[in-house]
């Protein structure tokens, strides 16, 4: 075989490989529904988390799941969300109570006082839509949160201080505020100090910042507030070959928002559960994580 | 919250009708931080099933599927004794209309309701009171 023909065959092979890789880009979601065993475990964990949250006395917490095995990066948890108790509004008192005594009479009927009704726990979080480089904000139940055949059937949450809970609560029940710090463009390793992309944990962090500071009305301002308050992202060491492979085969991975100096030294900074939990403790706005198994 | 939707019981004897308020129309199965529309599992909003199935595990066969603006109904029959029943889903419950008559469905009772599975995979969930409080799905952003 001539040298030219060998080169042509090699080139064709490379093009073919690249085409195959591009065809699979973003198609990494498992579209098969779970089996009975997996779903039973997910429902069981959801119920235990509900009981733990009920016992915590909190109205809103920052919660994490272990959807992926990130232990090679020294991380236990992969995905952040807010969980809040969706208490229904108290029922208004009736205009005229049927048991009201007439003037001068004494009623032996106690006036009914409606007891506050407890709502269900809801999750608000940002999810990447399979097969695309986009993401959206969802409100889900605890069961949906664990229905992903996670790497470990465990959850961790931190209870914010009452003032932080009050600020967060105003956001999590308000659909407009939930998307105020949301950008659809998604990269799983988005740079924390850029607004080109946004990953799920970053949305939670910026939404928390925006909820705490009335002036942080945009993503840029929320990031500035986080820098001012010494949020420290996690540094992942990802070499060039891995970065190239991920970029070619995954639609939801991008590195072009990272500064060149950091990127080319394999120094990838991003928002993780661990970094957010640690920062909240350092700021003394939340306690230690509670783990539910 | 959607309004309660109840199904007229189509079976007389040995049937227990349970009606549920539909808080959600689908389970979202997500991978890590991902969500896939194709992997949503429909959640029943009302059901009329033989009491023997409500109490324990068993199998039913789907004898018909009816879709309308009000929702999707699976007509089912208990494999063991032929007692008929039905399961209703919201009209927008993804996957509910894909059911094919003749499918044999395994019913597994769990603490939060009943799991309906076929060929080893869960195809629907019938929540009880606890399961209903755990289930919700709403896309907030466009």
DSSP state for residue A35 in the 8-state scheme: B
What own/partner pairs with CB < 8 Å and gap ≥ 24 does A259-265 have?
A: A259/A191, A264/A240
Q: Which of B112, B103, B42 is nearest to B76 (CA)?
A: B103
Asked if B33 and A78 count as a contact pair (C-beta separation under 8 A), the reply is yes
**Beta strands per DSSP E along chain B:** 4-5, 15-21, 26-27, 34-35, 41-42, 44-50, 58-68, 71-78, 84-89, 104-110, 113-118, 121-127, 137-139
Q: Which of B27, B28, B140 sits opposite A178 (nearest CB)?
A: B140
Distance, in Å, from the CA atom of B39 to the CA atom of B37, rounded to the nearest integer, reads 6
pLDDT at A117: 59
Q: What percentage of chain B has pLDDT greater than the value 90?
A: 31
**A176 CB near a chain B CB, below 8 Å?**
no
pLDDT at B20: 27
pLDDT at A232: 98
Q: Which of A35, A141, A182 sits opposite B134 (nearest CB)?
A: A141
> For B13-31, what is the mean pLDDT?
31
For B42-59, give the secondary structure using H, E and C.
EEEEEEEEEHHHHHCCEE
Whether the per-residue pLDDT at B55 is higher than 70: the answer is no
Collect all residues of chain A within an 8 Å Cβ-Cβ radius of residue B27: 143-144, 147
**B29 CB near a chain A CB, below 8 Å?**
yes
Between B133 and B80, the higher pLDDT residue: B133
DSSP state for residue A286 in the 8-state scheme: B
pLDDT at A148: 72
Q: Which among A27, A31, A43, A145 is the top mutation candidate for probing chain B, defined by the most B β-carbons within 10 Å of its own β-carbon?
A: A43
Question: Helix, strand, or coil here: A15?
Answer: helix
Collect all residues of chain A within an 8 Å Cβ-Cβ radius of residue B110: 40, 43-44
Collect all residues of chain B within an 8 Å Cβ-Cβ radius of residue A139: 136-138, 140
ipTM of this predicted structure: 0.80
Question: How many residue contacts between A and B have a Cβ separation below 8 Å?
Answer: 164
pLDDT at B8: 25
Between B78 and A76, the higher pLDDT residue: A76
**B82 CB near a chain A CB, below 8 Å?**
no
Q: Which of A43, A67, A79 sits opposite B134 (nearest CB)?
A: A43
Backbone phi and psi for residue B112, each to the nearest 5 degrees, phi listed first: -105, 5
Distance, in Å, from the CA atom of A85 to the CA atom of A242, rounded to the nearest integer, reads 41
Pairing of strands B4-5, A290-292: unpaired
Q: Do B141 and A40 touch (CB under 8 A)?
A: no
The confidence band for B44, taking pLDDT boundaries of 50, 70 and 90, is confident
Collect all residues of chain A within an 8 Å Cβ-Cβ radius of residue B128: none
Judged by phi (left if over 0) then psi (alpha if -120 to 50, else beta), residue A281 lies in alpha
Q: Which of A148, A179, A252 sits opposite B30 (nearest CB)?
A: A148
Q: Which of B2, B7, B6 is nearest to B85 (CA)?
A: B7
Q: Which among B24, B28, B30, B98 is the top mutation candidate for probing chain A, defined by the most A β-carbons within 10 Å of its own β-carbon?
A: B30
Whether the per-residue pLDDT at B58 is higher than 50: the answer is yes
pTM of the model: 0.79
By CB atoms closer than 10 A (0-12, 13-18, 19+), residue A23 is exposed
> For B27-32, what is the mean pLDDT?
37
Q: Do A31 and B38 touch (CB under 8 A)?
A: yes
Q: Which of A35, A47, A175 sits opposite B130 (nearest CB)?
A: A47
Q: Do A32 and B39 touch (CB under 8 A)?
A: yes
Collect all residues of chain B within an 8 Å Cβ-Cβ radius of residue A131: 36
**A132 CB near a chain B CB, below 8 Å?**
no
Q: Which of A7, A61, A46 is nearest to A280 (CA)?
A: A61
Q: Do A141 and B32 touch (CB under 8 A)?
A: no
Q: Do A34 and B110 touch (CB under 8 A)?
A: no
Q: Do B33 and A199 touch (CB under 8 A)?
A: yes
Distance, in Å, from the CA atom of A87 to the CA atom of A79, rounded to the nearest integer, reads 25
pLDDT in tens, chain A (293 residues): 455 555 444 434 333 333 333 333 323 466 677 889 999 999 999 999 999 999 999 999 999 999 889 998 999 999 999 999 998 876 555 554 444 444 434 444 544 545 555 789 999 999 998 768 899 999 999 999 998 778 899 999 999 999 999 999 999 999 999 999 999 999 999 999 999 999 999 999 999 999 999 999 999 999 999 999 999 999 999 888 888 888 877 888 999 999 999 988 899 999 999 999 999 999 999 999 999 99
**Beta strands per DSSP E along chain A:** 60-66, 79-86, 120-129, 135-141, 152-158, 234-237, 267-270, 290-292
pLDDT at B13: 25
pLDDT at A6: 52
Question: Helix, strand, or coil here: A210?
Answer: helix
């Amino acid at each position: 075989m001539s040298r030219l023909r060998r080169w042509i065959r090699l080139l064709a092979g490379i093009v073919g490989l690249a085409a195959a890789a591009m065809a699979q880009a973003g198609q990494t979601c498992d579209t098969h529904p779970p089996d009975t065993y997996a779903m039973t475990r997910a429902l069981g964990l959801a119920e235990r988390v509900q009981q733990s949250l009920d016992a915590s006395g909190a109205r809103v917490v920052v919660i994490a799941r272990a959807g992926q095995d990130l232990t090679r990066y020294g991380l236990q948890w992969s995905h952040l969300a807010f969980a809040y108790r969706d208490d229904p509004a108290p029922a208004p008192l009736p205009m005229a109570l049927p048991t009201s005594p007439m003037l001068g009479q004494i009623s032996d009927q106690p006036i009914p006082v409606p007891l506050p009704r407890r709502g269900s726990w809801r999750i608000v979080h940002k999810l990447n839509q399979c097969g695309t480089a986009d993401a959206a904000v969802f409100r889900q139940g605890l069961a949906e949160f664990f229905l992903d055949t996670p790497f470990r059937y465990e959850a961790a949450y931190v209870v914010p201080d009452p003032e932080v809970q009050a600020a967060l609560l105003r956001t999590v029940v308000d659909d407009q505020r939930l998307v105020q710090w949301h950008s659809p463009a998604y990269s799983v390793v988005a740079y924390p100090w850029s607004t080109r992309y946004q990953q799920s944990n970053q949305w939670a962090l910026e939404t928390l910042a925006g909820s705490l500071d009335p002036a942080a009305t945009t993503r840029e301002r929320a990031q500035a507030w986080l820098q001012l308050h010494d949020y420290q992202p996690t540094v992942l060491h990802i070499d060039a070959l891995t970065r190239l492979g991920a970029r070619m085969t995954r639609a939801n991975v991008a590195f072009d928002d990272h500064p060149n100096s950091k990127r080319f030294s394999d120094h990838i900074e991003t928002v993780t559960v661990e970094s957010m939990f640690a920062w909240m403790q350092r700021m003394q706005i939340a306690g230690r994580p509670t783990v539910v198994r | 919250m959607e309004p309660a939707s109840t199904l007229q019981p189509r079976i007389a004897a040995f049937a227990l009708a349970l009606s549920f308020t539909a808080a959600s129309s689908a389970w979202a199965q997500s991978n890590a931080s991902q969500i896939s529309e194709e992997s949503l599992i429909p959640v029943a909003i009302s059901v009329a099933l033989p009491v023997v199935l409500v109490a324990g595990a068993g199998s039913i066969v789907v004898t018909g599927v009816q879709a309308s603006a009000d929702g999707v109904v699976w007509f089912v029959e208990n494999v063991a004794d032929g007692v008929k029943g039905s399961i209703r889903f919201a009209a927008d419950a993804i996957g509910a209309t894909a059911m094919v008559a003749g499918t044999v469905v395994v019913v597994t009772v769990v603490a939060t309701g009943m799991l309906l599975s076929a060929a080893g995979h869960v195809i629907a969930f019938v929540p009880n009171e606890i399961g209903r409080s755990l289930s919700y799905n709403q896309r907030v952003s466009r």
